Amino acid sequence: MAAVSFMIPQMQDALKQPERWNSEWENTIRNMERRFTPSALVNSLALTFAAQPLRRDASLREHQTILSNLCRTQAILTATAGTYFAGANLEERWMKASPDLRGKHILIGLSSACSIARNLHDARVYCGRELTLSHLRSDGRTVLELLKAVLLPEVAMPEEPKLLPHPAWDAFAAVQARGSPNDSEKYALASILTLRTKLICHVIHATLNSFVGVELPTVAVAKYNKKNNPGEPFLGREFGKSVVEGMLGVAGAKAQAKENKAAWKERQRGRTEHCSYGGCSKANDGSAKFSRCKTCWDNMQREILYCSAECQKADWKPQHKSICGKPLTFEAVSKPPPPIPPPSKPAPQIGPAVGNYERSPSLVYQIGWLNLNPKLDYVVRGGAEGTNLDFPDPEAQALFRQCREKAMTTGDKQSIAIMAHFICWMTLDKPRFHLAAIVEQLKKEYVFDELPRAIHEMQQRQNKDPFRRPPLLAPMSPQNWVNFCKGMNVNRQVVLEL
């Protein structure tokens, strides 16, 4: 099968003329939809990869770098989205926004993300209708579902990225896995799935930042060394000069080539070299020259840069030793380098989700804060600002944390209701808390619309208890309960003003 050849809108127009640029992209996707099948795209990229041996090593190294960057991108997006869901009421605001307003911010997200790098721009072809403006703007749930599909289960750097599911791509991947794909075919599919996920993550991130009025995220892009990375192939972009001239004419082809070269030089000015050690990744600010691995350079013309001898030594055993001066294989780069854990990272308080339980972005955000602050029991936003709850009674705290663990790892409704009732009960007579706001926060975190009724049921259980203990503290002995209640009005009832 021949490589898929087609004209792609100019990357430099993404920010200069976003409406026209997007219209050209959507026309390209609409006109080429039947040819943009997973099979055709993978085969085309595999042919390009196999036909350019000089570029093969650089492509494989670049793929592993993109995997690492995607892990970092998803960790940042997960933290950002959690902040917006928890503190900026993002979901409700986005759903209430008009299609025109959503479309305005989505276009900003599209143009911003596609202007980061050439491979991200061109990867829009892998997304098809998923990244058309009409599809994204019409129903608010579309963007939110894409967002939730790429969010991580916790705010931490993952060992592998979470690739965006899609029926057609998933089916093709299953077919390839049952066969005997060569390195070119494995690389092509993995590269496409990684790039399409990375592009969609950047589009969503920029869209959300624009919508809530936050400055768009900046993305560091590695400096491209043309001497050591001959060519810049993408599908059929580098198809022959005669084909371009046939589409645009001789004058048009020359004008486009000149414009592309100028845009490439402009992008290069904003890029920099980075240290190859994953625990450093320091950017070269020009104050010192980075040294490169001599063996890789002499044997493979492969440029592996380090900011210091210490970083080169630290990278040797965990990563570089296995590939130093050797031809790369897809298996060697099929996973990102192992993340370097922070030296003083606290042990997480809350365990991972169990079974098929999927945490909401707001709950992931809550868990992230608790894991970073082991002394906290909960963070509630029932007032103007978030307030940390820290229960001083050791037995009450132990019972609360046991219930919290089950609620946060399994989504057990009973545990959620017991925990929520206790939080409401403990904050009822404190003026800075607004009970309805606390319940609304917990409803969103656990996606539990019936929570107010469940809390009332817990209050009824408390009323029936001979010692008036809330259900969370039912295991507490009468004597300990008396000590716990000193100075408290144990007859108070949870009244929700909703």
Query: What's the CA gap between 43 and 184, in Å, rounded?
Result: 9
Determine the number of helices (DSSP H) and then strands (DSSP E) in the chain: 21, 4
- Mean pLDDT (whole number) for 213-230: 58
pLDDT confidence of 381, banded at 50, 70, 90? confident
Q: What is the pLDDT of residues 85-139, one digit of tens each?
A: 988 889 999 999 999 999 999 999 999 999 988 889 989 999 999 999 999 999 9
pLDDT confidence of 452, banded at 50, 70, 90? very high
Examine the pLDDT at 243 and tell me if it is beyond 90: no
CA atoms within 13 A on the CB side of 493: 10
Q: What is the pLDDT of residues 395-412, one digit of tens each?
A: 999 999 999 999 999 999
pLDDT confidence of 228, banded at 50, 70, 90? very low
Can you give the pLDDT at residue 253?
A: 54
Residue whose structure tokens are 């192992």: 338
- Mean pLDDT (whole number) for 445-452: 95
Query: What's the CA gap between 473 and 238, in Å, rounded?
Result: 69
Examine the pLDDT at 210 and tell me if it is beyond 90: yes
**More confident of the two residues 167 and 388:** 167
Neighbouring-strand partners of residue 305: 292
Q: What is the pLDDT of residues 19-47, one digit of tens each?
A: 999 999 999 888 888 888 999 999 989 98
Can you give the pLDDT at residue 61?
A: 87
Can you give the pLDDT at residue 6?
A: 58
Can you give the pLDDT at residue 469?
A: 94
Q: Compute the Cα dihedral for 101, 102, 107, 112 and give only its sign.
A: positive
Instruction: Classify residue 183 by burial, with Cβ atoms within 10 Å: 0-12, 13-18, 19+.
Output: middle
Instruction: Compute the residue count for the chain.
Output: 498
Examine the pLDDT at 281 and tell me if it is beyond 50: yes
Can you give the pLDDT at residue 235?
A: 40
Is the distance from CB of 42 to CB of 235 less than 8 angstroms? no
Can you give the pLDDT at residue 300?
A: 82
Element (H, E) at 173: helix 167-178
Can you give the pLDDT at residue 414?
A: 97
- Greatest distance between any 2 Cα atoms in the chain: 93
Can you give the pLDDT at residue 251?
A: 62
Examine the pLDDT at 444 and tell me if it is beyond 70: yes
Examine the pLDDT at 141 and tell me if it is beyond 90: yes
How high is the mean pLDDT of the chain?
84
Examine the pLDDT at 266 and tell me if it is beyond 60: no
Tokens in use for 268?
């290069």
Write the CB contacts of 407 (distance below 8 Å, at least 6 apart in sequence).
Answer: 415, 416, 419, 446
Can you give the pLDDT at residue 57?
A: 85
pLDDT confidence of 495, banded at 50, 70, 90? low
Tokens in use for 156?
């931490």
Query: What's the CA gap between 370 and 419, in Å, rounded?
Result: 15
Q: How many CB atoms lie within 10 A of CB 138?
A: 12
pLDDT confidence of 219, banded at 50, 70, 90? low
**Domain definitions of the chain by residue range:** 1-219, 272-345, 361-484
Chain mean position to CA 411: 23
**More confident of the two residues 246 and 69:** 69
**More confident of the two residues 312 and 492:** 312
Distance of CA 8 to CAs 27, 28, 118, 249, Å? 10, 7, 11, 16
Highest mean predicted confidence (pLDDT) among 4-8, 174-178, 218-222, 255-259 = 174-178
Chain mean position to CA 320: 27
Calculate what percentage of the chain has a pLDDT beyond 90: 50
3-state secondary structure 202-213: HHHHHHHHHHHC
Q: How many CB atoms lie within 10 A of CB 285?
A: 8
Distance of CA 317 to CAs 157, 321, 392, 431, Å? 21, 6, 47, 58
DSSP labels for 142-189?
HHHHHHHHH--SSSS--SS--PPP-HHHHHHHHHHHHS---HHHHHHH
Residue whose structure tokens are 């804060």: 369
Taking the CA atoms of the chain, what radius of gyration do you get in angstroms?
A: 27
3-state secondary structure 336-352: CCCCCCCCCCCCCCCCC
Tokens in use for 186?
């494995």
Write the CB contacts of 461 (distance below 8 Å, at least 6 apart in sequence).
Answer: 471
Is the distance from CB of 49 to CB of 62 less than 8 angstroms? no
Can you give the pLDDT at residue 264?
A: 46
- Mean pLDDT (whole number) for 438-442: 92
CA-angle at 206, arms to 201 and 210, nearest 5°: 150
Q: What is the pLDDT of residues 53-81, one digit of tens each?
A: 777 888 888 898 899 899 999 999 999 99
Can you give the pLDDT at residue 479?
A: 93
- Mean pLDDT (whole number) for 194-205: 96
Examine the pLDDT at 268 and tell me if it is beyond 60: no
Examine the pLDDT at 239 and tell me if it is beyond 50: no
Can you give the pLDDT at residue 232?
A: 43
Query: What's the CA gap between 113 and 284, in Å, rounded?
Result: 24
pLDDT confidence of 486, banded at 50, 70, 90? confident
Query: What's the CA gap between 24 and 21, in Å, rounded?
Result: 5
Is the distance from CB of 445 to CB of 439 less than 8 angstroms? no
Query: What's the CA gap between 113 and 107, in Å, rounded?
Result: 10
Is the distance from CB of 41 to CB of 126 less than 8 angstroms? yes
Query: What's the CA gap between 54 and 300, in Å, rounded?
Result: 10
Can you give the pLDDT at residue 329?
A: 87
Lowest-confidence region among 260-269, 320-329, 404-413: 260-269
- Mean pLDDT (whole number) for 449-477: 94
Can you give the pLDDT at residue 432?
A: 75
Is the distance from CB of 439 to CB of 498 less than 8 angstroms? yes
**More confident of the two residues 231 and 116:** 116
State residue 387 phi and psi, 5-degree precision. -125, 135
**More confident of the two residues 11 and 359:** 359
Can you give the pLDDT at residue 31?
A: 87
